[in-house]
Structure 1
Amino acid sequence: MRTTPSSTPPSSAVRANHLGPDDPGVSPRVPLAARLRPRSLDEIVGQAHLVGPDGALRRQIGRGHLASMILWGPPGSGKTTLARLLAEAVGATFVTLSAVMSGVADVRAAIAAARERQAAGGPATVLFV
């Protein structure tokens, strides 16, 4: 899932802040997908009703609070990237766990660490499983 502002068609999207294959310091081992991954909500293409200027997620960001949500889609569709960008937008810590490799104990530990961070005056946590 990628976005550009809704007034800009995806075919003319300019991605000036991304590293291209010919930029100095870019390792040829860095996958193209990693180099082109959106770095802001404005770079996500599609889903304007969610991430557009008047979208539901933008309203949540404006309030400084994200509701619990389920992001559903096939691998590579941008779920993790969207969750990371949402966490960044509200200043939250982003924690990711593998649903395959992590167990209940790992989830409980992540929640306990999030509570400790928040109790110490730290940021909220977005837990992505």
Structure 2
Amino acid sequence: MEQAGVQTRSQARQEEACEEEVSLAAIMKFMQTQSERQEELLQEQKVQLQEQSERQEELKVQLQEQSERQEERYEQLQEALQEQQRELQLGMQRQLDAFVVEMKEEQQQFKEEVYGELQQQKCEVRQLKSVLVRVL
């Protein structure tokens, strides 16, 4: 009986040791699983960060391109505005030149009319003088 008691105790210790080993193995397995999961999450985060970084770089490039296009457009508009201003100035200069020519023509015509009237008046004065000389 004693032997049966020793065997039972020995068997109980073996079972307990076996349970501890199983429990320890389960804990190790759980820790391994957790470690693997954390590694997976870390890798996913790295991938997401890399993708986000790439998207940001793409956006940066797009923004730079857009900025360059806007700068080109601004320069084109500046050139167009300067061209319009030159055309406007030329148009105004042409109008002014035409006005000056017209004024000179009118002035010349006025001079000719005044000169003609003056000549006519001189002629009339001569006629009056000659009439006056005859009368006197």
TM-score, length of structure 1 as denominator length:
0.16
Higher helix share: 2
Higher relative contact order (CA 8 A, sep 6+): 1
